[in-house]
Amino acid sequence: MAAGHASDIDARSTGRGWVVVGALFLMLGIVITARNSLGLLMPFLKDDLGWSYGLVSSAGAVMLTTMAVVAPLAGMMLDRHGPRLVYALGMSLAAIAFALSASMSEPWQLVLFYGIVGGVGFAAISPSLVSTTVASRFDRGLGLATGVATSGSTAGQLALMPLLAVLIGAFGWRSSLWIAAASIVATAIAVHLLIGARERPRGPARTGSDRRSRAGFRVVLSGLARQRTFWLLAGGFAICGFTTAGVIKIHLIPYAVACGFPPLESATAYGVMSAFSLAGMIAFGHLSDRFHRPALLASIYFMRALTFLVLVQIAGSSTLLFAFAVLFGIFDYATFPIVASLVASHIGRHIMGFTMGLIFAAHSLGGAAGTFLGGYLFELFARYDWVWFVSFGLALLAAALTVLVRENRGGSPAPAPAGA
């Protein structure tokens, strides 16, 4: 009787969980598209305000560095207070950042509004923290549910990035930023209504979670620092950030424009990449429920490395531009559901928000390095080739690190640190 009752509760919880998945999908679709619009804005900011790619890239690097600092704090808040508060604060700050950026005229304003205010908001609206919210509502099918929720980060860009390019062409970049701010506000209201109250983590990782969740910051951090899996995942994810949020999300459109493609075609290729990112996230999320997760993650990094060899050849060929968009898209965000699943099983859901925040901080620092290096090397050599070669080598390194992670699907997470 008790078992049947528990099953009924789990069924109702999972049903509600898919509503939450839909809300998180919508949130990421709007906010991540807005965040990644900096690459689309670069040519317009250069023409209108005379700001170089290097200057704008520096603001993007500040944004990602700010995200790295704030992400662990946002993860701790999510563990303690639930997602409603964290996401509401994040989207509010993101909307304020875009509203302020619409009237900027000096470089320091881009750094302050987009880089710092926006960076704080974006840190709270990340696929890593979204995966933590999903993990609190699913035991079975966690990989698939995480893949669907986090795929919003790419699905939104499929339609919205080309739309934003059209809006900028029709109304100018300032009015388009106001539209982005209004869209984020509307999304914040919808998410707040749909997401509901936080559910407590369930499943094997729940054992002892009440006691361990009260562990001091230093004790929890020192426990993570002793975990080999944490460092391997964080190292690979730092490289993941370099090769995605850093060089591709910021520099693909400027690179395509520099290769002779018009902004709309470049943005369309970005949208195609997002479409295949959507498919890749869901597919690899589903596969992570059934196959060896470290091997899947390593294969993603390896295949991503090969796509950079295509990217250096795209000049003058729309076919190669869109071929790259398809191939890179498949292996773009596909890492998120697998990393989240590994954290849930190897480290535990009781501190998953904080752990994913730290791992996402590594991702953001890697992204900041990629963003800055891309702009710096372009200004130095007037071409991006060296950025792509560096990305190729780093992606291979990420694959090598990931191979060292042990599978632990049926085991228990690492024990709590002494004194926790």
pLDDT for residue 90: 92
**What percentage of the chain exceeds 70 in pLDDT?**
87
CA 174 to chain centre: 25
Q: What is the pLDDT of residue 52?
A: 82
Q: Residue 77 and residue 404: Cα distance in Å, rounded?
A: 31
Q: What mean pLDDT is reported for the chain? A: 81
C-beta separation of 214 from 102 below 8 A: no
- 257 and 312 Cβ atoms separated by less than 8 Å: no
pLDDT at site 217: 62
Residue 153 has pLDDT above 90, yes or no: no
Does residue 202 carry a pLDDT above 70? Answer: no
Specify the pLDDT at position 236.
92
Q: Which residue has the higher pLDDT, 245 or 301?
A: 301
pLDDT average, residue stretch 376-392: 83
Over range 333-362, report the average pLDDT.
Answer: 82
pLDDT at 20 exceeding the cut of 80: yes
Separation between Cα atoms, residue 322 and residue 318, nearest integer Å: 6
Whether pLDDT at 198 is above 80: no
Average of pLDDT values for 8-27?
69
Q: What DSSP character marks residue 243? A: I
* Residue 268 burial class via C-beta count within 10 angstroms: exposed 0-12, middle 13-18, buried 19 and up: buried
Q: Answer whether residue 319 shows pLDDT above 60.
A: yes
pLDDT at site 393? 94
Distance CA 128, CA 192 (A): 19
At 37 the three-state DSSP class reads: coil
pLDDT (0 to 100) of residue 47: 83
Please give the sequence-ordered ranges of beta strands (E in DSSP) within 330-407, or none if there are none: none
Would you say residue 85 has pLDDT above 60? yes
Predicted pLDDT at 94: 92
Compute the 3-state secondary structure of the chain and give helix, strand, coil in percent, each to the nearest 5: 80, 0, 20
Among 196, 225, 195, 197, which Cα is nearest to 351's?
225
pLDDT confidence bin for 411, thresholds 50/70/90? low
In the prediction, which pLDDT does 368 show?
82
Stretch 310-322: mean pLDDT: 90
Type of residue found at 146:
T
d(CA 159, CA 354): 32
Q: What is the pLDDT at residue 385?
A: 84
